[in-house]
Amino acid sequence: MKSKVIIWLKYAKDDLDTIKHIVEDVNLSNVVAFHAQQAIEKSFKALISQRETKIKKTHDLLTLYKLIDTHIVIDNMTLLELVNKTYIETRYPGSFGFLPSGKPTLLEAKEFYDFAQNIFNQVCKVLNVTNVDLIETPS
């Protein structure tokens, strides 16, 4: 059976790969934001699963980060807080929009993508996981 770490990281990579295909579409900037949040969450959970047997059932990135903050560095906590707020708001329409300014701009969506990619790369480095480890092989 594949390790939990690899499974979490494969799913995070799927989110990042999805973003790669849609990040230039201004109409999908909210979907980019959602997948960025998901990629970060799954990356954090990969690192947590390496150190704990059970992962807390939460989507809150700030809560998850507190469990691993000695292993990776996030230079922009404001951006982490912003991405953290996108979990529900990007999936369902709301009366106030998901950012103070509404739907994310294309530039904001790209920033979320780069941020998620950076966190994913840091986690892979800490866990000594390469892209080769994440390639799906036919069963």
In order along its 139 residues, the chain shows pLDDT tens digits of 368 999 999 999 999 999 999 999 999 998 999 999 999 999 999 999 988 767 878 999 999 999 999 999 999 999 999 999 886 654 555 544 456 567 889 999 999 999 999 999 999 999 999 988 898 766 6
Please count the other Cβ atoms lying within 10 Å of the Cβ belonging to residue 72.
Answer: 17
Specify the pLDDT at position 89. 52
| Distance between CA atoms of residues 104 and 30, nearest Å | 6
Q: Of 93, 96, 86, 67, nearest to 19 (Cα)?
A: 86
Specify the pLDDT at position 66. 94
Yes or no: say if 49 and 127 are a contact pair by the CB < 8 Å rule.
no
3 state SS of 127: helix
Q: Of 39, 31, 15, 24, nearest to 110 (Cα)?
A: 24
Angle among Cα 131, 132, 133 to the nearest 5 degrees reads 90
Domains in the chain, ordered, with CATH?
A: 4-131 (1.20.120.330)
| Distance between CA atoms of residues 51 and 68, nearest Å | 9
Specify the pLDDT at position 56. 78
Specify the pLDDT at position 95. 44
Specify the pLDDT at position 97. 46
β partners of residue 99: 102
